Amino acid sequence: MAGIVGYGAFIPRHRIKAEEIARQWGKDAAAIRRGLLLEEKSVPGLDEDTITISVEAGRAALERAGIDPRLVGALYIGSESHPYAVKPSGTVVAEALGVGPEVHVADFEFACKAGTEAMFVALSVVESGRAEYAMGIGADTSQGAPNDALEYSASAGGAAYLFGKPHVLAEVVETYSYTTDTPDFWRREGEFYPRHTGRFTGEPAYFRHITAATKAILERTGLKPSDFRYAVFHMPNGKFPLSVGADLGFTKKQLETGWVVPTMGNTYSGSSPTGLAAILDVADPDDLILITSFGSGAGSDSFVLRATELLPERRGRAPTVRSMLEGPRRYLTYGQYANYREKILLNE
């Protein structure tokens, strides 16, 4: 059975606290913390982008897999902040990882679910036998307009998953995708910041798609929420994933390991994949794990995974998600943040 043979994550070391953003705009930080359940978020440095995050996460995945990178026959990167409008992120990442040139490469975009989309296709390539190994990456340096609710959550980071058949760390038991045309969040060509429809991003978008995908995959597998040790849902803020999880019958204990959003923020395409990496960092053999992503526009991908005996042995080969969240950090003022996010206009 095909599955995850290597995984890795990367989170930049810069942080800004919700209080600092609230102070800038004269908002009530306590109300934001209470309403969105967000403490702080990661911020990319001036030298970090989707490509650099993908390379670091991809290197960690290869370390855990312990394979020759030249055996990777496909590499897909999902992001809504690819640094180039025309020129794939994947070409740079493949060269840096030592993958290829005999490799199929593509960049994906599907708002916040582009990462699981890349994983889904990478898995399919391995299952079809067209490649021995294939990598799917979700990474973003997320955009949120100044003084918008998104500014408290839009952060930077990502995770990479290498799929293969031998020496699997987590088997993929089942997958399911659910997609409709729902205009809840978008960014037109040439626009710097995305737009969203406020409360409409909730019930008809996030909750409908995650609920439909999760219920369907449970039905297909004949599993119930209590069969799972861990579950992770896309994390646009702290509140939504806990709420949809509770609606579906999952407990806080099942959700809290992958619930990295309070201190990481929403890494868009990297969000639920990074939550999954945090789960794989601690899961025991035979644990069942559920991941359901959500991408505006809108759709959800669900995966049911089962950890293997090999996982505990391999996870120590690369840094854990919690070590990056709780390790050395640099806290920024709003002014430094505005500089790092290139919100300050300069002459050419």
* Positions marked catalytic: 80, 112, 234
Q: Does 84 bind another protein (CB under 8 A)?
A: yes
Site residues (CB under 8 A) for another protein, limited to 148-187: none
275 close to 259: Cβ distance less than 8 angstroms: yes
**From the list 28, 68, 95, 309, which residue makes contact with another protein (rule: CB under 8 A)?**
95
**From the list 66, 166, 316, 327, which residue makes contact with another protein (rule: CB under 8 A)?**
327
Element (H, E) at 171: strand 170-182
**From the list 4, 32, 92, 325, which residue makes contact with another protein (rule: CB under 8 A)?**
92
* Binding residues for another protein, total number by CB under 8 A: 27
Minimum CB distance to another protein, residue 329 (Å):
9
Rounded distance between C-alpha atoms, residue 308 and residue 287, angstroms: 8
Stretch that binds another protein, among 21-29, 45-53, 146-154, 258-266 (CB under 8 A): 45-53
Identity of the residue, 76 or 340, whose beta carbon is nearer to another protein in the bound complex: 340
3-state helix, strand, coil in the chain (%, to 5): 40, 25, 35
**From the list 21, 36, 38, 49, which residue makes contact with another protein (rule: CB under 8 A)?**
49
Q: Which of 125, 53, 74 is nearest to 277 (CA)?
A: 53
Identity of the residue, 13 or 220, whose beta carbon is nearer to another protein in the bound complex: 13
Stretch that binds another protein, among 11-19, 121-129, 189-197, 272-280 (CB under 8 A): 11-19
Alpha helices (runs of H) in the chain, residue ranges in sequence order? 18-25, 29-36, 50-65, 89-97, 114-128, 208-221, 239-248, 252-255, 261-264, 271-280, 310-314, 321-326, 334-340
Q: Does 66 bind another protein (CB under 8 A)?
A: no
Identity of the residue, 14 or 113, whose beta carbon is nearer to another protein in the bound complex: 14
**From the list 16, 38, 51, 255, which residue makes contact with another protein (rule: CB under 8 A)?**
51
Q: Does 317 bind another protein (CB under 8 A)?
A: no
Which residues fall within 8 angstroms of residue 32, CB to CB, at 6 or more apart? 18, 22, 38, 152
Stretch that binds another protein, among 49-57, 102-110, 173-181, 272-280 (CB under 8 A): 49-57
**From the list 166, 330, 333, 335, which residue makes contact with another protein (rule: CB under 8 A)?**
330
Identity of the residue, 14 or 17, whose beta carbon is nearer to another protein in the bound complex: 14
Minimum CB distance to another protein, residue 308 (Å):
28
Helix (H, G, I), strand (E, B) or coil at 199: helix
Identity of the residue, 51 or 169, whose beta carbon is nearer to another protein in the bound complex: 51
Rounded distance between C-alpha atoms, residue 21 and residue 44, angstroms: 16
Helix (H, G, I), strand (E, B) or coil at 151: helix
Residue 50: is it exposed, middle or buried by C-beta count within 10 angstroms (0-12/13-18/19+)? buried
Terminal CA-to-CA distance of the chain, rounded, Å?
A: 54
Ordered strands of the 330-331 beta sheet = 40-43, 14-17, 330-331
**Residue written as tokens 């493949």?**
94
**From the list 16, 55, 119, 282, which residue makes contact with another protein (rule: CB under 8 A)?**
55
Rounded distance between C-alpha atoms, residue 120 and residue 175, angstroms: 8
Q: Does 40 bind another protein (CB under 8 A)?
A: no
Identity of the residue, 87 or 252, whose beta carbon is nearer to another protein in the bound complex: 87
Rounded distance between C-alpha atoms, residue 58 and residue 46, angstroms: 21
Q: Does 46 bind another protein (CB under 8 A)?
A: yes
**Residue written as tokens 């406020």?**
198
Minimum CB distance to another protein, residue 55 (Å):
4
Element (H, E) at 20: helix 18-25
Phi, psi (5° rounding) for residue 193?
Answer: -115, 145
**Which residues sit at the interface with another protein, rule CB under 8 A?**
12-14, 45-49, 51-52, 55-56, 59, 83-84, 87, 92, 95-96, 98, 327-328, 330, 339, 344, 346, 348
